[in-house]
Amino acid sequence: MTQTPQPFQRLTIIGLGLIGASISYAARQHGAAETVVGYDASADVRRRAVELGLGDIAETVADAVRDADFVVLAVPVGAVGGVAEAIGPHLTAGAIVSDTGSVKESILRDVAPHLPEGVHLVPSHPVAGTEFSGPEAGFATLFEKRWCILTPAEGTDAAAVARVAAFWRALGSKTETMDAAHHDRVLAITSHLPHLIAYNIVRTAEDLETVTESEVFKYSAGGFRDFTRIAASDPVMWRDVFLNNKDAVLEMLGRFTEDLSALQRAIRWGDAETLEALFRRTRDIRRGIIEAGQDEPEHLKKS
Ligand code: NAP
């Protein structure tokens, strides 16, 4: 199979935050689309997008998608249904619609009903991001060497799926296709639960009566500091992730709570062997992630 079918003629990106802006930069840098059109619900974001040169910025969602052969929804997961409803009547036959949402079953549920016959839906999730949001946070290399997971429904046009996969590969990503429900379970443990834990631990530290706020800032070495970075992630985006991946997150949270109780017991009973064996296993997992090229050792990172 060829790696790069022909680039898209007219790519429309709806939602010009971190992900949408990064797609705009990367698509133009790699020639993955001839024209890039952008739209955001916020007039202020549209103005900033013009200043940043994120493409031809449309004033209405209908103008944005007119004649587009590829439309990417880069809005919070809870907003995709409304956007799909608004663009549906203006889409061109044969166009491909994709998204970037961190939850995938809800995308099929909320977007598919609004798309006219002959328009293909190929949901995608670039597993790449930062804790920053807004158009100024975007950069062209965000997707390089990162996975992008495609979750088309059964029976989706194979050529449309191949074109979307080729698009992400042109932006530097590695692609994988899987069932939306499986995606949501995998991401519940690898991304959603870690964020929930980060939000909660920062809240717990904030609530501690015996530790002052200045001490939390002053002594936030290593562990806690890393949690605060994750807990600074966009509130609206993460609200929508938990509202839309409820079952998988609750299942993983149940398992996590059981394992935490086992650790609590090991500490209470002074079970050194259990603690050390676990910490050795988890260190191996960290090494595996580095060997897989999905992160680099802290001492090699730029500050
Ligand atoms: P973001 O920086 O907050 O950008 C989202 C943009 O969409 C904002 O400018 C927002 O405007 C706009 N928007 C909201 N509702 C809209 C609507 N109905 N029509 C048009 N524009 C609308 O968020 P992001 O980080 O780019 O995330 C976008 C999507 O990518 C989310 O679905 C998220 O789950 C997914 N994702 C994020 C990451 C990450 O690390 N951030 C990674 C992978 C995937 P307002 O600010 O005015 O509401």
Query: Per-residue pLDDT tens for 218-249?
Result: 777 778 888 999 999 999 999 999 999 999 99
Tokens coding 71:
């439309």
Assign 209 a pLDDT band (cuts: 50, 70, 90): low
Instruction: Give residue 133 CA to ligand 1 midpoint distance, Å.
Output: 8
Cα 25 from Cα 92, distance rounded (Å): 24
Q: Is residue 39 a contact partner of residue 46, using CB atoms and an 8 Å limit?
A: yes
- pLDDT of 189 strictly over 90: yes
Which residue minimizes the CA distance to atom 11 of ligand 1? 42
Q: Is residue 39 a contact partner of residue 13, using CB atoms and an 8 Å limit?
A: yes
Which residue minimizes the CA distance to atom 19 of ligand 1? 41
Instruction: Give residue 235 CA to ligand 1 midpoint distance, Å.
Output: 11
pLDDT at 2: 46
| 27-36, 114-123, 166-175, 197-206, range with the lowest pLDDT | 197-206
What digits encode the pLDDT tens for the residues 278-300?
999 999 998 988 888 878 887 77
Tokens coding 278:
């676990």
Q: Which residues pair with 25 in a beta bridge?
A: none
Q: Is residue 61 a contact partner of residue 144, using CB atoms and an 8 Å limit?
A: no
Pocket test for ligand 1, best of 65, 71, 75 (most atoms within 8 A of CB): 75
Q: What is the residue-averaged pLDDT of the chain?
A: 94
pLDDT at 303: 46
Cα 108 from Cα 103, distance rounded (Å): 10
Which residue minimizes the CA distance to atom 42 of ligand 1? 129
Which residue minimizes the CA distance to atom 35 of ligand 1? 101
Whether residue 76 has its Cβ less than 6 Å from ligand 1: yes
pLDDT at 289: 87
Cα 120 from Cα 97, distance rounded (Å): 6
Q: Which residues pair with 278 in a beta bridge?
A: none
**Residues of the chain with pLDDT > 70: what percent?**
96
Establish how many alpha carbons lie within 13 A of residue 137's alpha carbon, considering only the half-sphere containing its beta carbon. Answer: 15
Burial, 160: exposed, middle or buried (Cβ in 10 Å; 0-12, 13-18, 19+)? buried
Whether residue 74 has its Cβ less than 6 Å from ligand 1: yes
C-alpha distances (whole Å) from 56 to each of 34, 39, 60, 175 are 12, 9, 12, 28
What digits encode the pLDDT tens for the residues 6-21?
789 999 999 999 999 9
pLDDT at 37: 98
pLDDT at 4: 54
Ligand 1 atom nearest 233 alpha carbon? 41
Tokens coding 75:
């809005």
Whether residue 77 has its Cβ less than 6 Å from ligand 1: yes
Ligand 1 atom nearest 234 alpha carbon? 3
Spell out the domains of the chain, with CATH numbers in brackets: 8-178 (3.40.50.720), 182-293 (1.10.3660.10)
What digits encode the pLDDT tens for the residues 103-153?
999 999 999 999 999 999 999 999 999 989 999 999 999 999 999 999 999
Question: pTM of the entire structure?
Answer: 0.93
Q: Could you tell me which residues come within 8 angstroms of residue 253 by beta carbon, excluding any fewer than 6 positions away? A: 193, 196
Tokens coding 221:
């070495």
Q: What residue type is assigned to position 226 of the chain? A: D
DSSP string, the chain: --S--PPEEEEEEE--SHHHHHHHHHHHHTTSEEEEEEE-S-HHHHHHHHHHT-SEE-SSHHHHHTT-SEEEE-S-GGGHHHHHHHHGGGPPTT-EEEE--S--HHHHHHHGGGSPTT-EE--EEE----S--SGGG--TTTTTT-EEEE-PPTT--HHHHHHHHHHHHHTT-EEEE--HHHHHHHHIIIIIHHHHHHHHHHHHHHH-SSS-HHHHHHT--HHHHHHHHHTTS-HHHHHHHHHHSHHHHHHHHHHHHHHHHHHHHHHHTT-HHHHHHHHHHHHHHHHHHHHTTS---GGGS--
- pLDDT of 61 strictly over 70: yes
Cα 154 from Cα 159, distance rounded (Å): 13
pLDDT at 156: 97
